[in-house]
Structure 1
Amino acid sequence: MNVKWAARVQDIFTVAKVLALIIIIVVGLYNMMFNGRVSSFENMFANTSTDVGSYAVAIYGGLFAYGGWNYLNFVTEELKDPYRNLPRAILISVPMVTVIYVLANIAYFAAMSPAELLASQAVAVTFGINLLGVMAFIMPISVALSTFGGVNGLLLTGSRLYFVGARMGHLPQSMAMNQRATKDADALLGVNVVDDVAWGRSLQAGGIPSRMLWPGVGVYRQEVSLSWMLWPGCILSLLYLLARDIGQLINYFSFVQWSATGAAIAGLLYLRYSQPDLPRPVKVNIALPIIFLIASIFLVIMGVVGAPWDTAIGIGIFLSGIPVYLLFVWWNKFPSSVTSAQNSSTIWLQKLFVMVSEEKKVL
């Protein structure tokens, strides 16, 4: 995927979905203040669970909706002056998304009761039907635009995981190659369609997820196509569809995510203690990672209590990567016939997708 074009597309669709959210906020707050639609806020916590495990599972859903900030780290190599622009992007986008999404959720309750909200298949669409009248068609269009923008951002950031993993020898060599021009539009379109299906299911949970508010701010430097690295995500998206609902899928994903995140933060704290003199261009107060680690541990442990079966499946998914790593990365002693076949397939894919190896800078 051409990084500059991906950023431009992201800018356009980010503006579109922010405008849609502003419409929701303005209309909802207007009805609350001038039409007295505040009944949904009376006895808000009636009949709610007091189980700590249920809170953890609920937090999983909230963190999924507010997610997206962590994807900025995936494209650090594409940023101009990353040590300056990465913290700036996080400090601007996270508070902005939080404020917009909280206000949007408040506005939703001006249009429907908690029971109606839970029963809705697409909250933003239900909001439009209840409050926008003849202009209700705006919401389905906005959801579609939001889906496309979200997929665009995921294609850009997700491909970097495969790219770097292949560069480190954890994935096939062909996935660490670049395309100087996007010549595989059909393949890229196919991945978009599959990811649209997966993200379409998430839209049922809340209309326009804030994780899709991932603005491209024009600070990218490389111009390469990474769409070839997206086929593993395509396969995973098809497997995601086997889940019975979005909540179950979030539980699988969240346990693995917060286990890995907690381990990464623990590693950060260990390095801060064991190697205090290492150069750290981006550095935060030590209290922040400590609090973050405690929160990650809470989410992992309480997630087990709140959804033990889903957690067990998540653990199985997590552990399934160990034999693959041991066989293909750690051991990696295959017969010459297998190595020859790998090399032949790499050359064939290079010709098919017009790919070249990454240029190495000579210092």
Structure 2
Amino acid sequence: MGDTSLKRRREDEKSIQSNEPKTTNLQKEVGLLSGISIIVGTIIGSGIFISPKSVLSNTQAVGPCLIIWAICGVVATLGSLCFAELGTMITKSGGEYPYLMEAFGPIPAYLFSWTSLFVIKPTSFAIICLSFSEYVCAPFYSGCQPPVAVVKCLAAAAILFITTVNALSVRLGRYVQNFFTGAKLVIVAIIIISGMILLAQGNTKNFKNSFEGSQVSVGAISLAFYNGLWAYDGWNQLNYITEELRDPFRNLPLSIMIGIPLVTVCYILMNISYFTVMTTTELLQSQAVAVTFGDRVLYPASWVVPLFVAFSTIGAANGSCFTAGRLVYVAGREGHMLKALSYVSVKRLTPAPAIIFYGIIATIYIIPGDINSLVNYFSFAAWLFYGMTILGLIVMRFTRKDLERPIKVPIFIPIVMTLLSVFLVLAPIISEPALEYLYCVLFILSGIIFYFLFVYYKFGWAQRISKPVTMYLQMLMEVVPPEKEPE
């Protein structure tokens, strides 16, 4: 009976895709290849070119460093499998938002949308674009740091470009994603192949006694995981566009099972390539690991490295914008944000207001430009809600047994992921206490005030303010409400 029901749902998906005329709703235009591209393109961004130094600084040896990278890939895969069950059980866009709504109710869901809209997603977008800007500027300021104003302006221009592309067309955003994913795989391949050739030629001295001098303290290991998982972040991005996936019951888990192991293998091989060229001391002293690798291996063609690293980061930023815009869209549709943010462009059939809003907030984060603080804010808040969402999966195993689950992971996987999330949230606070974590918690909790003022009680004066703003934005941007809610 379950197989028949699942087949019927798949047939309905295909029927909707092929027979119904296009309406002012999000369209099912993302297939398996594009799904893999979104996962790979979003995960492989600036992280693999920044995090190796941070992971090594906390482990102090080659052996544990490579083990950390492998375990991080396993963690990302297990987390994605939990999200695959959630995504095929609750087939709404918006990632964690609809899952928290179903499991715990509106307040946790609102706090997630509040934190994501103003902390998690825009800070990630800003970090990636700042990294892009720094790599682009590096060849023009050889031997010195590029001016801060130049880096920030170029980062803001990158945000404007990506936001515009994704607001204009889902198909154009998908093509851009596929192109930059291909481009970033070129630089990944160059680094891996060069490293493997050098390794085959006998450059193995840096791998001897690979565990000598390693740190095994809980604090050091936890911070190494923190930085490694930052490079893997994006493993859940496909859940933000479930409504736009063709045959999500097949393509969602397949994209995960192909995309994340591919990223894990690439990350491990890239780190091995780095260590064939640099000792641990040289890698820790490098300002840009990939650039140092290129200078030593690819000279005089070393300019290829910063160029393709720039492609890699802009591709990750595009994938982040493509998916995060849908979170804003869903929050507006549920009445948790300004209603206009849930509107769809009449001509483009994209959630243009949501994407533009996301780009504006990310641009604001460019102004302070402190990447380290943004990474701390992002990681702390992200793993707090990852843990809550996976805990919701466990809760719904008992409270929502009626929901159909085309994918059902063994219960120990979400239990392990929930415990790991608790560890990752508490570990950096215990290891290196900082006021930034307190500020982040206070900002998250402040969302409760806005929830009761603007969502729960819906005071008349708030409605009088928001209604003309919504009407003005609707006329200015030529957007309308979706014609029907997804079932």
Secondary structure, counterpart of 2:300 in structure 1? helix
The 3 A distance-change label for structure 1 pair 301 and 85 is same
Equivalent position amino acid for 2:239 in 1: N
Q: What's the secondary structure of 2:246's corresponding residue?
A: coil
How is 1:91-130 mapped onto 2 (pairs within 5 angstroms)? 91-130=257-296
Deviation at 1:227, TM superposition (A): 5.5
Aligned partner of 1:203 in structure 2 is none
Task: Give, in angstroms, the shift of residue 340 of structure 1.
Answer: 3.0
Deviation, 1:6, is 1.2
Give the 3-state SS of the residue equivalent to 2:344 in structure 1. strand
Count of aligned pairs between the two proteins: 319
- Aligned-pair distance for 1:238? 3.0
The 8 Å contact of residues 383 and 425 in structure 2, kept in 1 or not, is answered as yes
Q: Which residue of 1 aligns with 2:308?
A: 142
Identity %: 38
Deviation at 1:158, TM superposition (A): 0.7
**Among candidates 178, 182, 199, match of residue 32 of structure 1:** 199
Residues 251 and 228 from structure 1, CA distance in 2 versus in 1: closer, same or farther, beyond 3 angstroms?
closer
Equivalent position SS for 1:135:
coil
1:178 and 2:304 correspond: no
TM-score by length of 2: 0.62
The partner residue of 2:249 within 58, 72, 83 is 83
| Deviation of 1:322 (Å) | 2.3
Are the equivalent residues in 2 in contact too, given 1:57–1:307 (CA < 8 A)?
no
Residue 22 to residue 88, structure 1, CA distance change in 2 (3 Å) = same
In 2, distance between residues paired with 1:227 and 1:360?
18
Contact preservation (8 Å) 2:340, 2:353: no
Partner amino acid, structure 2, of 1:346: T
- Say if 1:322 and 1:45 are closer, same or farther in 2 by CA, change over 3 A: farther
Deviation, structure 1 residue 324? 2.1
Query: Is 1:350–2:474 an aligned residue pair?
Result: yes
Task: Give the aligned partner of residue 314 of structure 1.
Answer: 440
1:72 aligns with 2:233: no
Deviation at 1:118, TM superposition (A): 2.4
SS in 1 for 2:480: strand
Deviation readout 1:152-188 (Å, 9 max, x if unpaired): 1111101011000000111101100011345xxxxxx
User: Residues 257 and 126 (structure 1 numbering): CA distance in 2 closer, same or farther, change over 3 Å?
Assistant: same
- The answer on 1:323 being equivalent to 2:441 is no
**Partners of 2:342 and 2:351 within 8 A in 1:** no
Equivalence map 1:17-56=2 (5 Å) = 17-34=184-201, 36-56=202-222
> Contact 1:181/1:225 (CA < 8 Å) preserved in 2?
no
Verify the 8 A CA contact 1:56 1:303 in the aligned structure 2: yes
Distance 1:245 1:11, change over 3 A: closer
Question: SS at the partner of 1:50?
Answer: coil
Within the candidate set 214, 231, 239, 2:357 is matched to: 231
Alignment of 1:230-309 (within 5 A): 230-239=356-365, 242=368, 244-246=370-372, 248-309=373-434
* 2:294 counterpart letter in structure 1: G
Q: Which has the higher contact order (CA 8 A, sep 6+)?
A: 2
Partner Cα distance (1:350, 1:27) in 2: 53
Paired with 2:176 and 2:260, the residues of 1 have a C-alpha distance of 20
The structural deviation recorded for 1:233 is 4.7
Q: Give TM-score scaled by structure 1 length.
A: 0.81
Aligned ranges 1:169-208 → 2 under 5 Å? 169-181=335-347
- The question of whether the paired residues in 1 share the 8 Å contact of 2:394 and 2:414 is answered with yes
Distance, in Å, in 2 between the alignment partners of 1:227 and 1:135 is 42
Measure the CA separation in 2 of the matches of 1:81 and 1:296: 30
Q: Partners in 2 of 1:244 and 1:142 — Cα distance?
A: 24
RMSD between aligned residues: 2.2
Deviations 1:169-209 (A, max 9, x none): 11101100011345xxxxxxxxxxxxxxxxxxxxxxxxxxx
Q: Deviations over 1:241-282 (max 9, x none)?
A: 636443x43222122111111111111111102332322233
Could you say if the C-alpha distance between residues 362 and 241 of structure 1 is closer, same or farther in structure 2, counting changes exceeding 3 Å?
A: closer
Checking the alignment, whether the CA contact within 8 Å between 1:158 and 1:230 is kept in structure 2 is no
**Cα distance in 2 for residues equivalent to 1:253 and 1:147:** 17
The one-letter amino acid paired with 2:233 is G
Q: Deviations over 1:8-52 (max 9, x none)?
A: 111111111112101100101111220x32333234444443331
| 1:170–1:329 contact (8 Å) kept in structure 2 | yes
Structure 2 residue matching 1:121: 3-state secondary structure: coil
Corresponding letter in the other structure for 2:187: A
Aligned to 2:123: none
> What is the letter of the counterpart of residue 286 of structure 2?
S
Alignment check: 8 A CA contact 1:24 1:107 kept: yes
CA shift, 1:225, in A, is 4.5
| More divergent stretch after superposition (224-233 vs 14-23) | 224-233
Please give the per-residue CA displacement for 1:52-82, whole angstroms capped at 9, x wherever unaligned: 1232122111111012221011010110111
Q: CA deviation at 1:362?
A: 10
Amino acid of the structure 2 residue aligned with 1:124:
A
2:251, 2:290 → 1: CA distance? 33
- CA distance in 2 between counterparts of 1:164 and 1:134 reads 49
CA distance, structure 2, for counterparts of residue 32 and residue 230 of structure 1: 47
Pair 5,88 (structure 1): closer, same or farther in 2 beyond 3 Å: same
